[in-house]
Structure 1
């Protein structure tokens, strides 16, 4: 049955039901419900109505509108994970619109009685209309949003189930400690100890019986404490040990006489009962060997470390996974009694003294040290004649932490490098317990390039160091210490080797023509220098007017200029200091040129993304004002270009080209007519050339940020991913309402990027993000994040409160009319 209070056991599944009823006479525009579970219950995420918020101990629902008299039933379950007693608390809010039809007549009467000017009414009506407080143009009607609230509890009790249990431990005294096995001589008295413990969660109140069976070569001495209930030469019983409270123990000691030689187990057993339930049992043994006589030499124990292990000849280092073995040999070799047990314990240094981390333990198989830093191991062995070895000790450092490596590079604008750019990879293995010795590994494009032991790796991007071709190089590097602690994840960086200088071309603004193998320009014609670079980008362009012996100085090009000398020299330098060879332009300056050059060609059309060593085609066209034939020069952005033959004005021309290296290139075209008149350069078309094995970015993480909100408010979300080759990344976000962010970036892989958006309407939206690398390879869409935009009902009240605070007269009016 559904009840207000119920009891359960740990591990039970508990079902809950919440019934929400609109018991009033108005309809609700929305109903919100929340439920808070006690900390000993965990929600099973199985509610019949989908929540808007789900956590282990808290749930929220938005049930939408609810008409008067309607109800809604929600069921869900939780698991009892621990004992406890508390209330399960549920709350509900119903939002509705309250109509005050007589507001303005009452307001008018109030104002008339007090001779207050009617402008106040107009101010209030403007306020209601401006913020949609009135649903009618009639000033006699006002709609105000309000809410009602209710809560209820269900009381839950979770108790532990009865679980009776008992444990018996049998030990024999070897002269130094209580052990599981020991050797003696004929005629000795042997001491035994039995410990019976109630390991259940209830008292053992019916009975607790203990029996002990001695081997035939031992005789009970009749000296048990507590006293036995019944006994014989080789058998002892205790019947009077109940009640044994939970967690309590009873200890029985007695002795037996070694009559003859023998080798056997001494067996002890217990039977107990709780509240007439089924009996419970346990048993244990102590091994006894009796001989005619014993040797007096102790064993000798040797410690060995497994792998990983490192020593510098003074100190030793291991990890928490290193197995430690203890091997004991008993003496004399000719007639040993044999090793009975080997014992060890572990200390940890706290900075001032040794703390016991693992107390004395019988060695049965190789063990490990569970924590890091400075430790001491103590160990010894005992033979079957109770000869005990002196305690030995060994200190050792335990280190699970890998080294830390980092990279520095000179002259790398936007990850572009030149032949003198120097990469330095260093590492450090530090800390109180670190090995301090490490090896750095560096891979280039997936192949091992260099290693360095306890020193840095340094190289430059030139042929001497094996870098012979321009293009992208992916560096992967990490450090490993002598114990094999490896730095993960590995560092991955991409660099672009650029040894190609810029390419500078010229054009004219103003009359010009090509005649008799040189250019003619007018005194007002300006020269334009246009430098392009397929790699890092152009840093600056220099030019000089006249030969060096003519006194001209080198100047930095900042824009078109009018030459005062017919000899112009120019060259450009890129961002990684690649210098272009010096170019010479000769122009003849004449008073007038009749010929008009061709018009600027159209921007070349063709592919935007491509692969190296693959041909791509580009088209353009233009016209000549004088109707002369035209030829075109295609500049491919990689330092190469080509002229076409002359063709009729307006004819479309197409040329193909393949690029040998990955990079970003600008394709542009200029035209020249039969009279030598030359146009300016067309608008460039950018193409991104990549290697065929280029990989897209990793699928972005699910966007993180608010999952609920209100229309009209800006919210911030975080997006993040990485690129396998370390390329720069762009992001685009689909906001789920038909809008997108467009491509944002570029950004460094792994960086968390904030993005913002405003939703203008109610609803539930799916936010997802996609990434692409610098070369246009796109990832798949991320897992979407759902955001709910329920109707916001608090703005109008907030505005009214601020309005009344600013205008005390209105506050007085509201107090009389609304009774607030």
Structure 2
């Protein structure tokens, strides 16, 4: 049972019409509505009643009233329904007039006093929807002295009253005094009208419907979608049904093109009708939107509001970056990601490298394509790379899931060598290199490449000999080699992270050697004594030639080096059997030459050739005369002659 109480309360010993409160026993004129005698004092009956006359004489108007209002309470109806209101009251009090009567008027009609209860509805402009009056006194031609008392109690219930959700109902209760505008009173010595006490309450109960009852949930049917995107269709559902008898019918009208309500009309004999509000944002610009729809039923109307903000969608969160998991210090790693934009806008990307640095915004790139960025880390450690994206409106996505990478100190190879460096063919040659990994991990692969200039390279697995991997581990490989003057080699290891380490570290350099010569190999014959000019002048280049024979052939693979006796020692080995030299100082020089074959076997030095460096003979003539010698000195200084 729907039942509520309005807590109005109880106030005892309120005067009915202040300041009518125990007049003293001095003689006062009670006054009458016909007269405005200045002798009537404040607080007299005239002051209370006659001043409220609504029209001046003549005519005197209709009724003059004064109220003692007990309450002025409001109640908001929270659902449409029929309601019954119950007024329970109790009032008691008395009135008395006494003194020497003096008849100053023809008619002494006093009027009447009654208890009232009024219900007003704000939705109907504040009009009364219910009025209750209970008369507790009606007097006329009273005779002084006069006294009456009252003690009234009653319970009053209204018939069922239909209210809509949101209606504000006001309850007013109290005592009202009404006097006739033609009333004439007498002089009285004293008197009072006093309400000695009152109590009351107001109850609210649901009534039984006598017609269809419009019901809706929620009430009112308002909804805020918050932020939504372009080119979307979203919906929201509310319910309408008949909570009364007979059939409730309705139609729904929208005032905006982007909103559709279905069904747009329906009826209910009690069943719930789900009603869907469909919002389509296609073709709308960014901004805030408000739409209204009206439900018109055969009982009442309702208005609903739909609100939303149309916003730009940032790019979707980029995919987790991908790329090398393990990376040595100061090595460049390349990492790839991609994402797309809801509206197909171009995209910029920013990478967070996990080392307190970020890339600039990279782009723009078309929506959906792969994007690559590179970075290197200077310090070993674990780093988490993530990326986010933004579109042309600078709306940013969330950060991607982080990609973990490990940056480490790259293992090193050093001390590569082969021994012996030169030996006869089929001798065992040992290749050795040192390996160090600060993590103390052994390599996954350890390979030596042994190569020739004409036969390519062959690979061999090296053997761990001993040592701590974190400081120095030794690897070796031993093999015999055929005769070949042009062997070279290098080492290539693979660490636990599949990273290749090479020694020598710079490609394409290799270690040279060993020199492997055939058994019974013989050096070339001693070169012939050089041939060429034996008397030359300073600062001029001259050519000298020689020859030698390689007993193991062929002769065109012989190398020569020359000693020009100029204080610089033997020159480099060169293939042709000739050489060039110049001397800048006069003197005697002994030129000799040496031969070497492909395997480094060297011949003896040749017999020397004597070469004299001097000025031409005409210079002796010049020196016979001071003037010619002076001229020559100038010429000599210009040509750096000594």
| TM-score w.r.t. length of structure 1 | 0.24
Q: Normalising by the residue count of structure 2, what TM-score does the alignment of the two structures yield?
A: 0.30
Which structure is richer in relative contact order (CA contacts within 8 A, separation 6 or more)?
2
Q: In terms of Rg, which structure is larger?
A: 2
